[in-house]
Structure 1
Amino acid sequence: MSAQEERDALTLPPALYDQALHVLRDSPDGVPPLRGFSISQQPEPSEIPLSREAARSAIRDALNPLPDDSATLHRRFARLGMDRRHMRLIRSAVADLPLPDDQREAARSLGRQLTRTGTTGPAVTAGLALLVRLGEPEDIPYLSVLGLFRDFTLLAVDALDILDRRRAAVVWLAVYARRAELRPLVRVLWTGDRQAICTELVALPAEPRFLSSTVARRIAEAARLADLLDQHPSDTPLLARTGRLLVRMGCSRYGPTDLLVYREALTLYESVVTRARLLPPTLDNHATLLSLALDMSSGSGVLLDWPPGRRVSLLESLGRLLAEPRWASLPDTDAGEAHQRLRAGWIRRTGRQPFGRPATPGVLRVEVVAGDPVDRAPVETRILLDGRPVVPEFCARGPANSPDFLLDEGLLRAGSEPSEVQLAEAYCTEGCCGALYVTIQRDGDQVVWENWRRPSTMPGSREPAPELAAYRFDAVVYDAEIARAETDHSWSWPARLIKAGLVEQPDLLSRWDAKRGWISSGFEDPDTTVVTFGYAPGLGSGKPDGIPLQFRWVVPDDGTAREAQAAAALRRLAKEDPKTYGQVCGGNRERAEELGFSWPEGA
């Protein structure tokens, strides 16, 4: 070692593991603070950073060959200017590193040195990445503490997921469960107080804003929920909360990956469905059981590794239960209970859907599924091939596209010319995480689905996604199924019926020099319908005098049947100029004043 290296060794900061352990011990009750820890006393990033490709090459050189001691790797990284900006590249390089059997023990030893004594983010990242591949139970305490650093959480959790799924979930929740309402549960999960865990689970708010699919899954893992339910078989509040967590895990809005990777999913389905008779027949419990049935019928729940016939058996038992008078007789709700009225209407429309149409091998099945409106669940066009839902099985990055897109526009119809159709888009947009496409074409007396396009890997995997086979359908049967799906309005909200009316009668708006915009249920208040339209003189004849001004008309739910509400809205459009009751919501102030309208305050 050179004299300079000796001086550097004398001035090294404490190991990051020791820093984290010290902060944790000083935390109240030994429970980590919200959002975990940040790395302190790290070298400042170099003023002239390496390019991405240069950094990749430098990291490969630093790791080849793997040194026998952590100090050597520290020096290599320091000499190359590695800092926290390069930690993701280091992780990727270690994941791709060839490790023959005769080198694995030495690599494991290096990983342990780096995680226990590493003083910089890049060095500890390399150690954690090695333990993702080579970790053993003795590494769990070190991974748990280092995972409290936000820079290391995901890497440490990846390693813990292999070794101790419960501990991985506790660490993940400690850092990422950031809603204050979740902190009491996180605290008892960290301390491991089983009775307190049961109490806090029941008290847990179950609304979507508190429980994403990943938070729900991590809570179930951290609480060892299947064991907890077995220990309290008659605890109906715990049973109801378990059902809600299952519903949230299977939520398609962000992709079904959480349900599919949750190892105890089948056990929880079995427990909840077989004990469902213990639950009181409230609207909330009815919505939970119906949501589970929809998922077991046409959602991601179908893809679990069910024993032969068991899924159908459980579905049938749920169908019989929800058809009993005490469940089928939904309570009346007061006009002021908007969310309960919404939920009751949804149950009346959707209540028998998951129990009606068994899958037929070799036949396409299209199910339009409107999820629980109180949960803000999306309306999906679920497509099943051989009884298995295409989107969660082939893409799993978001919900299936809406019927407004796939059915109202006739995109699933098969013509003589090939047509590429987007079946689903990642919840974060196609440009970020991709989409699922298939090409549809009529071929004589058959319809062919082929030339699938999807992301190159499945969520949470580095392995290439396998190629998808072509599917062939009898054209007569195919056309009948698409026609049935396109004309089925049983699930529709008033918004869709209003849109359908305006498509059929465009003159309802054109007579007022207006043109249809987007129409949907209100996002902030799903108990309303939002109709938007553009206006400019001459727009109705296709020759607008200038840029159109945008208007927004909010139609409240008056409690009548959705068909009656849609018909009333269309009659009003026929008789009254919508500019007299809609509000300007787009364009610009000058254009609004030019046309004689007030510009909205604060816009």
Structure 2
Amino acid sequence: MSGLYDHALRLLRESPDGLPPRRGFPLPSPPEPPDTAPALSHEAMRAAVRQALDPLPEDSGTVHRRLDSLGVRRRHQRTVRAVVAGLALSGPQRDRGRSLARELVRTGTTAAAVTAGLALLARLGEPEDVPCLIALGQFRDLCGAAVEALDAVDRPQAALVRLAHRGGDELRPLVGALWADDRRTVLAELDVLPTDARLLGASTARRIAEAVLLPDLLDRHPSHTGLLALAGRLLARMAGRRDDSTELPLYRDALRLYETVVGRARLLPPTVGHHATLLSLALDLSSGPGVLLDWPPGRRSALLGTLGRLLAEPRWAVPADDVDSDEPERRLRARWIRHTRRRPFALPAAPGRLRVEVVVGDPVDREPVETRILLDGRPLVPAVFPLGPAHSPELLLEEGQLRAGPQAREVQLAEASCTEGCCGALHVTIRRDGDEVVWEKWRRPPLPGLGRSTPVLPPVRFGAAAYDAEIARAEADLAWSWPARTLARLIRKGLVERPELLSRWDMERGWISTGSADPDHAEVHLWYRPGLGAGTPDGDPLVFRWTVPDDGTPPGIQAAAALRRLSEENPAGYARVIAGSRGRAEELGFPWPYDH
């Protein structure tokens, strides 16, 4: 059987224009020997892989035989990569490991053996390995390991391989131009690149910037305002918090790109879209992941000041036509800009030990409303848990979760975007210790790229008086909120104080806030089970959603009207079922919304 590398080269030669298909090629069949070994636990498999690779064998044939005999297969690639990442490789072992790696990737016939070679090259690879890594990266099952190895020696090629696999159809023309090294077409494709956040996630934004060598491209086209606007958009998306993780710290040219975009921002026409991009960059530089970059002293503050002065100029004022526009995205952004435009420039000059800032992100990008916790001026959550945004102020501030009471309490500060059950969350225990408040006993999952070596976070101590004052200030600061969000808060507050408004209808309060799809509406979620009000709930619940639009009157008046309606009319008559089960909905006589 020929090696996987030779097979990849053959597939690429046969591909139209030499471009691999989206999601890559499948491995040849059969890709590995029959699995006759007994199933092993995760820990036992790690031990088996270590037994096969530590110490490193002399030749690739031995690696194949050992992995095969121990039952290491394609599905164990992550374990193989983790074990290789932990091998001690120094002195002569580095040369030996590099030689073995090259033999494995060029002649290996199984996914497990080739993965071992790729993982070794992630540590020991050199530029001469790039062509082989690109070819093997075209197999969908080897792409991750190949990209990791390429990242160490050739970031633009790593980005291109990743985009070829994971980029959507809208990126294929750009990928094709990059694959053909057609610079003129690359620039043309960037001019028409869709920048909708639903298509342009943080990871994709970073990989595009890496693949096209964006700072160099900007230097070659200093007056190209479309390219400049795209660069700002990509930078803002990399720092975005709506995706699985923030990508900004992984982008090696981030400082250079910030310098270029902010330095030339005056060239951009003062549109709502450009204003939103620059404001997003300012929010990031003031309290987001951008703070964590390795800035020269005073440079970040200088760039933030440049943005503040620019956006304060009269030509950047948001006109009433935008605020009242019939175009939803234009209207949402204009209102957000008016409400948020001075907030990133109003932080105190001396940050103090603790600062809590509520930040409302670009509503068109569906960026979250997050409670940013700054320790000595640095945002805590993206620094120690890059897998999801900090929780909302409703969870951390309105419910008093950050207060230091007499009893120690564990608080969840952030959750992975995919939920805690999938990728974990960040927890801390808050307790009062005399005239100090202590954050300790941190809990977080192993982080990508670190695995079990994810360091334990030390306790953090605050002066109790200053801590209490800052938490009280943050809880009282509602200037970040907007009418529909305030409406949702007041409805929620009313239902907390008067649960009988719902119990009479056999309902209880669920999630109440503004939805990301339309932040000008309050969404009230209600759980319904017959008998709930009498204390004898029957069967599984149905979840109803009542959408309350902001009608422009004061939120207090709207909330009072909403609570009055809840007290007088059964919500089942005007709210809609959105969750539960179709069988349960039919049993209780409600239409199921997902039949069509």
TM (norm. structure 2) is 0.90
- Structure 1 pair 598–379 and aligned structure 2 pair: CA distance change class (3 A): same
- Structure 1 pair 305–255 and aligned structure 2 pair: CA distance change class (3 A): farther
Contact 1:206 1:244 in 2 (8 A): yes
> In the aligned structure 1, how far is the partner of 2:375 from the partner of 2:306?
24
**Counterpart amino acid of 2:515?**
G
After TM superposition, give the deviation of residue 159 of structure 1 in Å.
1.3
SS at match of 1:555: strand
Contact 2:244 2:418 in 1 (8 A): no
Tell me the residue number matched to 1:600.
Answer: 592
- Structure 1 pair 79–450 and aligned structure 2 pair: CA distance change class (3 A): closer
- Structure 1 pair 598–104 and aligned structure 2 pair: CA distance change class (3 A): closer
1:330 paired with 2:319, answer: yes
After TM superposition, give the deviation of residue 102 of structure 1 in Å.
2.1
Provide, for residues 534-577 of structure 1, a one-character-per-residue CA deviation record: whole Å limited to 9, x for no partner: 4567756x646746654321223446676665455345445554
Tell me the residue number matched to 1:117.
Answer: 107
1:261 paired with 2:250, answer: yes
After TM superposition, give the deviation of residue 46 of structure 1 in Å.
1.8
1:160 paired with 2:150, answer: yes
Provide, for residues 327-377 of structure 1, a one-character-per-residue CA deviation record: whole Å limited to 9, x for no partner: 123342456422222222211221111011225354311111111111111
1:37 paired with 2:25, answer: yes
Tell me the residue number matched to 2:13.
Answer: 25
**Counterpart amino acid of 1:582?**
A
- Structure 1 pair 88–237 and aligned structure 2 pair: CA distance change class (3 A): same
After TM superposition, give the deviation of residue 55 of structure 1 in Å.
4.4
> In the aligned structure 1, how far is the partner of 2:390 from the partner of 2:498?
29
**Counterpart amino acid of 2:238?**
M
> In the aligned structure 1, how far is the partner of 2:418 from the partner of 2:224?
38
- Structure 1 pair 583–370 and aligned structure 2 pair: CA distance change class (3 A): same
Structure 2 counterpart of 1:367, from 357, 374, 379: 357
After TM superposition, give the deviation of residue 490 of structure 1 in Å.
2.5
Provide, for residues 99-144 of structure 1, a one-character-per-residue CA deviation record: whole Å limited to 9, x for no partner: 3412322222221122112222222222212212221111111111
> In the aligned structure 1, how far is the partner of 2:432 from the partner of 2:586?
53
TM (norm. structure 1) is 0.89
Contact 1:495 1:520 in 2 (8 A): yes
- Structure 1 pair 137–549 and aligned structure 2 pair: CA distance change class (3 A): closer
Tell me the residue number matched to 1:474.
Answer: 463
Q: 5 Å matches for 1:483-498?
A: 483-492=472-481, 493=485, 494-498=487-491
1:314 paired with 2:314, answer: no
After TM superposition, give the deviation of residue 512 of structure 1 in Å.
5.4
Unaligned segments of structure 1, at least 5 residues = 1-12
> In the aligned structure 2, how far is the partner of 1:36 from the partner of 1:589?
38
- Structure 1 pair 594–450 and aligned structure 2 pair: CA distance change class (3 A): closer
> In the aligned structure 1, how far is the partner of 2:455 from the partner of 2:81?
25
Tell me the residue number matched to 2:3.
Answer: 15
- Structure 1 pair 549–190 and aligned structure 2 pair: CA distance change class (3 A): closer
1:438 paired with 2:431, answer: no
**Which structure would you say has the larger Rg?**
1
> In the aligned structure 2, how far is the partner of 1:160 from the partner of 1:592?
52
> In the aligned structure 2, how far is the partner of 1:142 from the partner of 1:505?
67
> In the aligned structure 1, how far is the partner of 2:16 from the partner of 2:554?
55
> In the aligned structure 2, how far is the partner of 1:549 from the partner of 1:67?
60
Structure 1 counterpart of 2:178, from 186, 189, 207: 189
SS at match of 1:374: coil
Moved more, 430-439 or 160-169: 430-439
Moved more, 68-77 or 153-162: 68-77
Contact 2:32 2:111 in 1 (8 A): no
1:529 paired with 2:522, answer: yes
Moved more, 412-421 or 326-335: 326-335
Q: Identical aligned pairs, as a percentage? A: 61
Tell me the residue number matched to 1:339.
Answer: 329
Provide, for residues 494-531 of structure 1, a one-character-per-residue CA deviation record: whole Å limited to 9, x for no partner: 43343234334545545656432221323544443321
**Counterpart amino acid of 2:2?**
P
1:410 paired with 2:403, answer: no
> In the aligned structure 2, how far is the partner of 1:105 from the partner of 1:396?
35
Tell me the residue number matched to 2:510.
Answer: 517
1:454 paired with 2:444, answer: yes
After TM superposition, give the deviation of residue 79 of structure 1 in Å.
4.5
Structure 2 counterpart of 1:583, from 566, 573, 576: 576
**Counterpart amino acid of 1:277?**
R
> In the aligned structure 1, how far is the partner of 2:144 from the partner of 2:137?
7
> In the aligned structure 2, how far is the partner of 1:519 from the partner of 1:90?
45
SS at match of 1:275: helix
- Structure 1 pair 300–562 and aligned structure 2 pair: CA distance change class (3 A): farther
1:213 paired with 2:205, answer: no
Tell me the residue number matched to 1:427.
Answer: 417
SS at match of 1:157: helix
After TM superposition, give the deviation of residue 81 of structure 1 in Å.
4.7
Moved more, 247-256 or 137-146: 247-256
Provide, for residues 435-454 of structure 1, a one-character-per-residue CA deviation record: whole Å limited to 9, x for no partner: 22222223333323233333
> In the aligned structure 2, how far is the partner of 1:504 from the partner of 1:241?
48
Unaligned segments of structure 2, at least 5 residues = none
> In the aligned structure 1, how far is the partner of 2:135 from the partner of 2:250?
24
- Structure 1 pair 441–602 and aligned structure 2 pair: CA distance change class (3 A): closer
Contact 1:255 1:392 in 2 (8 A): no
Structure 2 counterpart of 1:500, from 468, 493, 499: 493
Contact 2:280 2:362 in 1 (8 A): yes
> In the aligned structure 1, how far is the partner of 2:575 from the partner of 2:60?
68
SS at match of 1:115: helix
> In the aligned structure 2, how far is the partner of 1:245 from the partner of 1:31?
25
Structure 2 counterpart of 1:62, from 47, 52, 56: 52
1:174 paired with 2:142, answer: no
SS at match of 1:296: helix
> In the aligned structure 2, how far is the partner of 1:512 from the partner of 1:89?
53
Provide, for residues 404-441 of structure 1, a one-character-per-residue CA deviation record: whole Å limited to 9, x for no partner: 21112111111122222111122233333332222222
- Structure 1 pair 122–448 and aligned structure 2 pair: CA distance change class (3 A): closer
- Structure 1 pair 342–68 and aligned structure 2 pair: CA distance change class (3 A): same
> In the aligned structure 2, how far is the partner of 1:520 from the partner of 1:317?
35
Q: 5 Å matches for 1:349-360?
A: 349-358=339-348, 360=350
**Counterpart amino acid of 1:31?**
L
**Counterpart amino acid of 1:99?**
L
Contact 1:397 1:459 in 2 (8 A): no
> In the aligned structure 2, how far is the partner of 1:145 from the partner of 1:349?
50
After TM superposition, give the deviation of residue 458 of structure 1 in Å.
3.8
**Counterpart amino acid of 1:487?**
A
**Counterpart amino acid of 1:28?**
P
> In the aligned structure 2, how far is the partner of 1:586 from the partner of 1:85?
35
After TM superposition, give the deviation of residue 260 of structure 1 in Å.
0.5
SS at match of 2:359: strand
Contact 2:527 2:542 in 1 (8 A): yes
**Counterpart amino acid of 1:71?**
G
Contact 2:37 2:71 in 1 (8 A): no
- Structure 1 pair 102–590 and aligned structure 2 pair: CA distance change class (3 A): closer
Q: 5 Å matches for 1:376-395?
A: 376-395=366-385
> In the aligned structure 2, how far is the partner of 1:589 from the partner of 1:465?
44
- Structure 1 pair 319–569 and aligned structure 2 pair: CA distance change class (3 A): farther
